[in-house]
Amino acid sequence: MPDLDPQRQATDALMLTGFWYRALPADRVQRNELYKATLLEIPLVLGRDRAGKAFALRDACPHRGMPLNCGHFDGRNLECGYHGWQFDVHNGQCQVIPSLTADQNLKVDRIYAGSYPCEERDGFLWVYIADPAPPGAGIAPPVAAPGPAPQIEKFSDKYKLAYLQAEMPVSVDHGIIGLMDPAHGPFVHQAWWWRSRHSIHEKQKNFEPIPNGFRMSAHTPSSNSAPYKLLRLYADADSITTTIDFVLPNLRSETIRAGKYWFSSLTTVTPITRTHCRIDVVAAWNLFRWVPFGPELLKFVFAKFVEQDRRTMEVQAEGLKHNPHLMLIDDADRPAKWYFQLKAAHQHAKRSRTEMKHPMSGPVTLKWRS
């Protein structure tokens, strides 16, 4: 049953630990160089060793807090710029403390710089942010990630890959609910080649619970969106299906399949700080491989959209400074409600060490105009 009253909802801007997050596009990270990144307010230094293998360390020396990105990296060990302590970049273990004399037997190998599991996947370096150690635990060996970093679903061996990103001056919550919000389309994403606000019409979509998230079930997509129009140029329209999943903490994956052609994307909204997030869209596809302008066109369409969202959220951030509450209405904001409920259920399960109780009890049909 839809709620008849709009629901007041305060975003908590809580950044979930115990998950993989995208840190940097892989093509920007060269061997033997150091790069800064921030995830969940944690300062990181990233890079690649001589063999090209990526790593991520906390950007603070365990000795006296010097940012390690200011140090020297020889492709294997990272030497802090202050007193020359050296750390293995892959596990953070201290190798050398230059000030020690031969008879001083401080156990150097028991000292660690904070180190994070780091994996390269679909053109990005991902970093696993573990749950914080109990207070007073000190510097310890790195925690292993419970599973591999998320990846884009692909349906053939050959495909193209492209990414684009945008920073938004809003919390991760606003970034995410902005991404799943169907009602802003006609107002924010107007363009002559896409749609106008007059093309607004009633829609009905089926949703179902999936582990840690929800799915907009496979369906033939609505007629008023550009990729689908393009797809119809050379695929049988009846065979087009699209599925959109949202999974905690921040993953939105979309797949479109039309016969042997497919398009797949994984969009993430990454908490940088409590008040800033970054959207990364990575798309893989085997569509348009024979059309010379295909990928550029696709990137143009996506870039335009993301830029429209970014500009909107920049303005929204002004308003959010003065009113921390929002109003969520049925059905258009129901996915946003599920997001907050999923987040709360996840937190509750973690605190109480119980199985997470999914907020959706079964499939739901939502209706809105957009």
Map residues 17-56 to x or -, x wherever contact with ligand FES holds by CB under 6 A.
----------------------------------------
| Alpha helices for the chain (secondary structure H) | 172-179, 185-188, 226-232, 294-320, 334-352
Q: Does 61 engage in binding with ligand FES (CB under 6 A)?
A: yes
| Diameter over CA atoms, the chain | 81
On whether the CB atoms of residues 240 and 231 are closer than 8 A, the answer is yes
Write down the least CB distance from residue 319 to ligand FES, Å.
Answer: 43
- One of 23, 34, 46, 80 touching ligand FES (CB under 6 A): 80
Contact of residue 357 among ligand FES, Fe ion, none (CB under 5-8 Å per partner type)? none
Q: Which residue type, as a one-letter code, is found at position 247? A: V
Contact of residue 83 among Fe ion, ligand FES, none (CB under 5-8 Å per partner type)? ligand FES
Contact of residue 309 among Fe ion, ligand FES, none (CB under 5-8 Å per partner type)? Fe ion
> CA–CA separation, 342 vs 296, rounded Å?
36
Environment class of residue 170 by beta-carbon count within 10 Å: exposed (0-12), middle (13-18) or buried (19+)? buried
On whether the CB atoms of residues 246 and 339 are closer than 8 A, the answer is yes
- One of 21, 73, 85, 368 touching ligand FES (CB under 6 A): 85
Nearer to ligand FES, 82 or 194 (CB): 82
Contact of residue 219 among ligand FES, Fe ion, none (CB under 5-8 Å per partner type)? none
Environment class of residue 351 by beta-carbon count within 10 Å: exposed (0-12), middle (13-18) or buried (19+)? exposed
Contact of residue 85 among Fe ion, ligand FES, none (CB under 5-8 Å per partner type)? ligand FES
Write down the least CB distance from residue 113 to ligand FES, Å.
Answer: 9
The helix or strand, by DSSP H or E, that contains position 305, with its residue range, turns out to be helix 294-320
> CA–CA separation, 254 vs 46, rounded Å?
29
In the complex, which residues of this chain contact ligand FES (CB under 6 A)? 61, 63-64, 66, 80, 82-83, 85
